């Protein structure tokens, strides 16, 4: 009788044959997806001007002028994104406070009636 601890490839979690087959299928699918992802990345990076840095991150091999231009483009993009986000936030807040296209404020007040009342109050004064 063999009382040795099973090795990493021999370890069994004690599932049924159907569960083992399902686990094997899942593992095969995962390995296939990983291999396809790796080969796609290799194809995409072939001929590019990128080189792996020590940290394993892509490192652009451009001139100082190209780096400066890229930084300007990135800064412009971040600024535009921030402005659009702020504008959407302010528009949403304005729409809630003063009403949208339906003529009602976000709290249900009828804006047209309020404007008429304000105009009447100004005429009376």
Question: Both tokens of residue 71?
Answer: 């930084």
Residues 17, 62: Cα–Cα separation, whole Å: 56
- For the chain, the average pLDDT equals 76
- What's the pLDDT score for residue 6? 55
Closest CA to 48 of 66, 56, 37, 60: 60
- Domain regions of the chain by residue span: 14-43, 62-125
> 98: closest CA among 86, 106, 89?
106
pLDDT single digits (tens) 52-97: 556 665 666 788 898 889 999 999 999 999 999 998 888 887 776 6
120 burial (CB, 10 Å; 0-12 / 13-18 / 19+) is exposed
What's the predicted TM-score (pTM) here?
Answer: 0.32
């Amino acid at each position: 009788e063999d009382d040795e601890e099973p090795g990493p490839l021999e370890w069994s979690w004690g599932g049924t044959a159907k569960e083992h087959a399902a686990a094997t299928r899942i593992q095969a699918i995962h390995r296939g997806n990983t291999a396809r992802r790796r080969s796609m990345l290799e194809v995409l990076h072939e001929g590019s001007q990128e080189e792996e840095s020590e940290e394993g991150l892509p490192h652009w091999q451009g001139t100082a002028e190209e780096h400066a231009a890229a930084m300007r483009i990135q800064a412009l993009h971040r600024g535009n994104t921030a402005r659009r986000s702020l504008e959407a936030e302010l528009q949403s807040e304005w729409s809630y406070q003063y009403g949208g296209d339906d003529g009602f404020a976000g709290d249900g007040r009828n804006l047209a009636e309020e404007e008429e009342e304000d105009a009447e109050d100004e005429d009376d004064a």
